[in-house]
Structure 1
């Protein structure tokens, strides 16, 4: 007596979530990505500004760090560095925000990455690793 056993495929967690979450259009995803990158740039700029303020507080009175013209130029440079780091997703803050704001897009990205499909990134940086794709200089 042999019984045939039918294997039923259990629904995967991603399938159930995909049914509940609406699809994200490209325009909404682009706006969310832009906002997340700008927030990451703001966060990095604030961090650099606080470090720079600490350096200025500890500097001697005759130090170049105490001169206003140097402070203005360094602030400008700090903003540009923060923007460049945010575009590279160096800290991963934008990726974390996108996973929270657009969970369905993050699930689709994970499914594409698991399948090895091209274009698996939710954005220009990989969501799982802030240093993905970067080489040591």
Structure 2
């Protein structure tokens, strides 16, 4: 089984903005993985004996599920890197919103 190399985004937080950021980062990683898997499928050697539109559709659905699963596990670590990069921005915006709300 493939394990995540980094675990910076696995800390449990109760901050709703951090949860939204984690969800968005994982969704981005899933989209990236879907595109990568799709490109690998297109680079195949040709049609197989059992290939049909129906089997291609089910293969695409399986690839999508695989990409979602891989993004949840953090296989590539893209979500962790995005969270690390975007957390200071989210915290800064939260701090700005909190201070502007206090002034009003």
TM-score bracket, shorter-length normalisation: 0.5 to 0.7
How many aligned positions are there? 77
| Distance across 2 between alignment mates of 1:28 and 1:71 | 38
Which whole-Å deviations, capped at 9, do the CAs of 1:76-98 have from their partners, x for residues lacking one? Answer: 00000000000000000000000
Deviating 4+ runs (over 3 angstroms)? none
TM-score under structure 1 length normalisation? 0.52
Aligned equivalent of 1:41, options 17, 30, 53: 30
Q: Identify the structure with bigger relative contact order (alpha carbons < 8 Å, sequence gap 6+).
A: 2
1:45-124 alignment to 2 at 5 Å? 45-55=34-44, 58-60=45-47, 63-65=49-51, 67-103=52-88
**Which protein has the bigger helix share?**
2
TM-score under structure 2 length normalisation? 0.67
Instruction: State the 1:64 CA deviation.
Output: 2.4
| Distance across 2 between alignment mates of 1:104 and 1:42 | 23
1:118-133 alignment to 2 at 5 Å? none
| Distance across 2 between alignment mates of 1:38 and 1:99 | 16
Unaligned segments of structure 1, at least 5 residues? 1-24, 106-137
SS of residue matched to 1:64:
coil
| Distance across 1 between alignment mates of 2:43 and 2:55 | 15
Instruction: State the 1:104 CA deviation.
Output: 8.0
Instruction: State the 1:53 CA deviation.
Output: 1.2
| Distance across 1 between alignment mates of 2:86 and 2:26 | 13
